[in-house]
Amino acid sequence: MANQPPISALPIPEEGELDPELQKYFAICREKLGLVPNVLKAYSFRPERLRRFIDSYNEIMLSEGPLSKLEREMIAVVVSAYNRCTYCLVAHGQAVRRLSGDPILGEMLVMNYRMADLSARHRAMLDYAWTLTADPMALSEADRARLREAGFDDAALWDVAETASFFNYTNRMAHALEMQPNREYHAMDREPPDAD
């Protein structure tokens, strides 16, 4: 595959040129994930921005909080589906497959979340994320009320909003850089669970 498109439309430094802390972070990625996500390589063009991105990302997606990690990944995929952001759909679609153990759910959210077999809680959560992405000016207290009825408290409501908002940032960075996802994601976690 000599002919693949580049990871980013802007230059990417050699990994050895990065400061030791980032080099170590990349090494940990390789160990834990089996790869360095291309978004990190693309951001390494601006190391200070990469550090901020890692911090924000880990806080929003991985810290303890009222949304499960799967729920955050579901929001990531649905926002990225609206924005048709290939990078995030590939990377977070894989995360939904892995965390849910349901490879079909991940694919359904990429295509049209309204056709997925969702709980009332998740349907409300994803409807909110979709509207916040597509028409943020349209949201009002009625939309927050619907989330509350579906069991989201104030902190959870914040996290739905911030996770969806964050991917409106990352999706645009990925579009601006024409960021290519790691090819390894595509084949991961496609096996349906045994009990299927």
Residues that bind its own copies (CB under 8 A): 1, 3-5, 9-11, 45-46, 48-49, 52, 55-56, 59, 63, 81, 83-86, 89-90, 103-104, 107-108, 110-112, 114-115, 117, 132-133, 136-137, 139-141, 144, 154-155, 157-158, 161-162, 164-166, 168-173, 175-178, 180, 183, 186-187, 190-192, 196
Q: Which is nearer to its own copies, 76 or 108 (CB)?
A: 108
- For residue 75, give the DSSP letter: H
Residue 190 Cβ vs its own copies, minimum distance, rounded to whole Å: 5
Written as one letter, the residue type at 88 is C
Q: Which is nearer to its own copies, 29 or 175 (CB)?
A: 175
Please give the C-alpha separations between residue 177 and each of 18, 104, 161, in angstroms, as whole numbers.
20, 29, 25
Integer Rg of the chain from CA: 17
Q: Which is nearer to its own copies, 27 or 192 (CB)?
A: 192
Residue 110 Cβ vs its own copies, minimum distance, rounded to whole Å: 7
Query: Residue holding tokens 């669970």?
Result: 193
Contact between 155 and 66 (Cβ < 8 Å): yes
Q: Which is nearer to its own copies, 27 or 184 (CB)?
A: 184
Cβ within 8 Å of residue 161, ≥6 positions away: 128, 132
Residue 195 Cβ vs its own copies, minimum distance, rounded to whole Å: 8
Q: Which is nearer to its own copies, 29 or 66 (CB)?
A: 66
Cβ within 8 Å of residue 149, ≥6 positions away: 124
CA angle 159, 80, 177 (to 5 degrees): 115
Residue 31 Cβ vs its own copies, minimum distance, rounded to whole Å: 23
Query: Residue holding tokens 């079909």?
Result: 104
